[in-house]
Amino acid sequence: MHLNFLWRYILITLILTLSPESGIAYASDTIKIGVVNTEKILRESRPALAAHKKIDQEFLPRDAEIKEMAEQTRVMQGRLEKKGATLSDTDRLELERELANLSRTYQRAQRQMREDLTARQNEEYGVILNLIDQAIQQIAEKERYDLILQLQDSVYRSQRIDITDQVIEVLNGRAASQ
């Protein structure tokens, strides 16, 4: 919320400062402003989709192991519930201990996988964000933009200034040529 206010403040200040009424002489009275939606780019561009697929494939074996542990835990819990009353105290305690150990191992594996997944996603998104910045720079120079903002939660923005689809096209073009 605070970040949105800051961007609006910067934009309004820039527009007021550069307006013809401000007394500053400029060769052109118009300012060309663009807006990109980074979240949309991270959802729809080829490099982002390829990164998602790569990460999914990378974590598929670990996910299968964790699902197997969950199934073992469920089976062991069912056995304890069914036969717990008929088992000797020693056998029941041993089964309860095994179940507790398996449950802890399962929770630890889940937590570790979430942490590793987040780290990998951040790594891949860092690369993609650099590609996005390069694409925005290329568009800005080619089409002579004065200002391009990366906004996610703007209350309103005209489709005239939204260059998100152009950035996606540049990224997709680069991905296709590689």
Residue 11, Cβ density class (10 Å: 0-12 exposed, 13-18 middle, ≥19 buried): middle
CA distance 167 to 84: 62
Three-class DSSP category at 35: strand
The pTM score is: 0.68
* Tens digits of residue pLDDT in 68-123: 999 999 999 998 888 877 888 888 888 889 999 999 999 999 999 999 999 999 99
Fold of 2-6+18-177: Protein Binding, DinI Protein; Chain A (3.30.910)
What percentage of the chain carries pLDDT values higher than 70? 81
b/e map 63-78, b = 16+ CB within 10 Å: eeebeebeebbeebee
Phi, psi of 146 (to 5 degrees): -90, -30
- The pLDDT, as a whole number, for residue 24 is 47
Tell me which H or E stretch contains 150: strand 147-150
Average pLDDT value over all residues in the chain: 85
- The pLDDT, as a whole number, for residue 156 is 73
Domains of the chain, residue spans: 2-6+18-177
